[in-house]
Amino acid sequence: MDFKFARRISCLKASEIREILKVTEKPEVISFAGGLPAPELFPVEEIKKVNQLVLEEAGTEALQYTTTEGFAPLRQWIAARMNGRLGTQFAADNILLTHGSQQALDLSGKVFLDEGDVVLCESPTYLAAISAFKAYGCKFKEVPTDDDGMIPVELERILASTPRVKIIYVIPEFQNPTGRTWSLARREQLVKAAMKYQVMVIEDNPYGELRFEGETLPAVKAFDPIGCVLTLGSFSKTFCPGYRIGWIAGDKKVIEKYVLVKQGADLQCNTIAQREIAKYLELYDLDQHIAKIREVYRQRRDLTVKTMAEEFPPGVTFTRPQGGLFTWVVLPEHINARDVLVKSIEKNVAFVPGGSFFPNGGHENTFRINFSNMPEERIVEGLKCLGGVLKEFIRNKLH
């Protein structure tokens, strides 16, 4: 059969992470690849109880179709949580529940992007946001980014010289893939630039609650007086990703458009999942649960950074994130992380080469390490092994 696919399909390729994850399903593989939470922290016993209660108390509603916007008590909870933590002023009407924040990224493409439009992003940026936006035929411009976020003069220069910029996409907290966090000043400057050039900002924040040290900062949205910022959130990293419940929050006029495209995508989020999360929040203390996650991830971050410092050869640098799930490694320029991966997979250690986080290519001497998913002893064993592989590359000047 000569399959006549849409043009957009030709620019999409299988996610490298997904391909690598196939290998990492083997139990002997020590994986620093996916962005998976620690499964031992999922509150399985509590969820059993919650599931039973939801079915007993509202079984038929929980199994019925529901509104596209989502379960009102859950949207109210999300608005209050964001307002309390992030300095926003949302009401339940400003929130649309989505199937993970990933769906909010896809819907954003549907709402804002025509073919040939431009998305500005950090350099590097989240791989699956690139795939989500790319399907709508956009181009990407990477804004030079340092440890504090996008560099304002560079952002301004690109905005002033680039026609058809529709979206500025940022991950200000414990970024995927670098683990970096934007400074307060940069958040404010971003909104000023977006207002000046009348461009939407999509602020993607799935990791903000997982801060190991330092103060929680106000969201980019907190600086927005005109509705040009949309904020994405998720229960994937604070609760369980399997529920696939996230959200998008923003100006009501914009959220109404998202409701229209979500109707076309899947009508609504899974009804019982929404109700179970709301019931969990009613019965249990999410803060206590998140405190447990933070403590485990903080220890794993510390161990990861310490072991890399001990085992990685000179000339290799890495970030020390204040929260989240990832650290970012930069190798000497002549070493390609994809070649390193081939060798380390032979030794049953996996990570994600960094090149795929740059929508316009390059930067092949980088890779991402996830530290949330492996128990401590496997982190040490895996990073020692990876350190050995890196030393071989440097010693033999392998290309």
Kindly list the residues in this chain that would bind ligand PMP in the complex (CB under 6 A). 35, 100-102, 126, 171, 176, 204, 206, 234, 236, 241, 246
CB nearer ligand PMP, residue 19 or residue 115: 19
DSSP string of 31-76? E--S-PPPGGGS-HHHHHHHHHHHHHHHHHHHTS---SS--HHHHH
Cβ at position 393, least distance to ligand PMP in Å: 28
Cβ at position 81, least distance to ligand PMP in Å: 15
CB nearer ligand PMP, residue 236 or residue 304: 236
Cβ at position 368, least distance to ligand PMP in Å: 11
Please name the residue that has the structure tokens 């001990």. Answer: 310
CB nearer ligand PMP, residue 246 or residue 382: 246
Cβ at position 97, least distance to ligand PMP in Å: 11
Cβ at position 241, least distance to ligand PMP in Å: 5
CB nearer ligand PMP, residue 70 or residue 100: 100
Cβ at position 334, least distance to ligand PMP in Å: 29
Q: Which residues have a Cβ under 8 Å from the Cβ of 323 and sit 6 or more positions away?
A: 173, 174, 181, 207, 208, 210, 211, 212, 213, 294, 297
CB nearer ligand PMP, residue 171 or residue 329: 171
DSSP string of 303-328? HHHHHHHHHSPTT-EE---SBSSEEE
| Nearest in space to 397 (alpha carbons), one of 310, 333, 329 | 333
CB nearer ligand PMP, residue 241 or residue 321: 241
246/241 Cα distance (integer angstroms): 9
DSSP state of 167: E
Instruction: Indicate the residue whose CB is closest to ligand PMP.
Output: 100
Bridge partner list, 352: 368
Segment holding 153, helix H or strand E: helix 152-161
How far from 254 is each of 109, 113, 201, 215, 320, CA to CA, in Å?
13, 14, 12, 31, 36
- Which token pair is 344? 């380390």
